[in-house]
Chain A
Amino acid sequence: MGLSITLERHRGTEREFVSISDQIRSRVGFGIKVSRFYEAHFRVKRMEIWKYATLKELEGIPLGGLELSENFVTRDNEEQLLTKLGELTVVDLFFSIVRLLGTWENDGLSHEAYVSISNSPSWARVYGDVEVNVYPKGSIADIVDIFYASKTMKERLVDFFLDSFGGFDDGIFKVKGIYFALGVPAAEDFDLWRTAFMSSETKLLEDAITAMKATGDEDIRRWLSPYSVAFLVRNLRETPRFETTLHKFFEENRIFEKEIGSVGYIGERPESFREFFTDLTEKVLKPVIRSLPPETDIASRIRNTVERQTTLG
């Protein structure tokens, strides 16, 4: 998964309507800022624009590219890219994906690397709005392996990144979530997170329940089906003992909270989130869910109430 960032539309009072091209300028501008943050390691050689997907094998259509000579995206390069995007039809623009391709240089080693900026909604839902990763080589399977190679690297590449981008808000988009994780993407893969930044503790719990639904037993999925994730989280959070338990689980599994406008959760150990997730699901969520009236009871109450309702004639 590497580093994945999700953005959300700014819902402030100043700008309710923002055109697609302005949204794309904002998202692409943000992605370029991310690439500049890592410019000591990430040497950008080329920028590409694709439609639908970033490989022809996946039905992607190349829409153009730019070769870079400075190893990073200069202001001129950025303007050239935005001009190229501005020349696309609205449909092409809507489904576009911008790739900054190059190498990640570290300790004398070089890895093929990319920053991918997904304007295409289906692509962004899967991969996030902006992602950074390397292709596996040697003992490095994921950029997160490089980020967490030492305390200093983690501080520079993860902690400072959260400090710099956690509060990003350009009036069009603001940061919704930042995830540093190994393996396949998604909230479903909560157990693979190393560091996560999100708008609130509520979002963390929503992601944990989504992960449990996606990866848990059929029994749990069936039991959960009548209830919304938001309903469960709201009621858990209104239970004082739950808050105490949650923070005990953070402490026991070495997950540290960091306030950066929103909340960053930093796992000290690779297995911190996995063990936290096991504690939360096995000791709290599953017992709570199994104590709720099952779908069959609720369905039969609906049927019985309608059948007994004499005023229906």
Chain B
Amino acid sequence: MLDEPPVPLHGDPDEVYDKQDMIAKFGLDPDQKIADWYFHYTNCLFAVQESKGGYLRDGIAQLESTILQLKQKGRKVHLAVVFMERLGREKQLYDIDRDRDNTLLRKSGKEVKVEGVGVHFFVRNDIRELRARGRL
């Protein structure tokens, strides 16, 4: 498991909820898959993030379950984030569109959407580079 805080894609978030908060405050089912973070950026966007040590595919499954549950509880979700150390062999299946905030694409070029929400993929270097450029 990666202990990575929410990616500051639109600056640092001003509200952050972890798994326990999502269960306690929003009533998510602890027996279902739950992603690591649900958070709010100051530009009013809500995001869900999974910091994944294993497969991206399994991270997507966790995002799917979390976003579905949050929406059922009336919570807003505008974007999804996956953070990994590296993509490994799964790079055969996915592309990253670096010109669009690291949007995750299938090799077919189609954007990966989870419950209608676009997914953004980051590794540690991306965050360092973006910070260095002052993007974030």
Contacts and interface: CB of A to CB of B under 8 A. Distances in A.
A126 B92 contact: yes
Contacts of B33: 112, 135
Given A110-B31, A136-B1, A185-B89, A127 B53 contact: no
A188 B88 contact: yes
Contacts, number: 77
B51 to A, nearest CB: 10
Size bracket of the B interface: 20 to 34
A58 B112 contact: yes
Interface string B82-107: 00111111101100000000000010
A55 B61 contact: yes
Contacts of B61: 55, 135
A184 B106 contact: no
Interface string B35-72: 00000000000000000011101101110100000000
Interface string A66-80: 000000000000000
A130 to B, nearest CB: 15
Nearest to B107: A122
Contact of A55 (B32, B64, B88, B89): B64
Contact of A59 (B1, B64, B88, B106): B106
A126 B62 contact: no
A135 B92 CA distance: 22
A58 B60 contact: yes
Given A59-B110, A135-B58, A186 B89 contact: yes
22 contacts: A53-B57, A54-B57, A55-B57, A58-B106, A58-B112, A112-B31, A127-B55, A135-B58, A135-B62, A136-B54, A142-B53, A142-B54, A183-B88, A184-B54, A184-B84, A184-B87, A184-B88, A184-B89, A185-B55, A188-B88, A188-B89, A189-B88
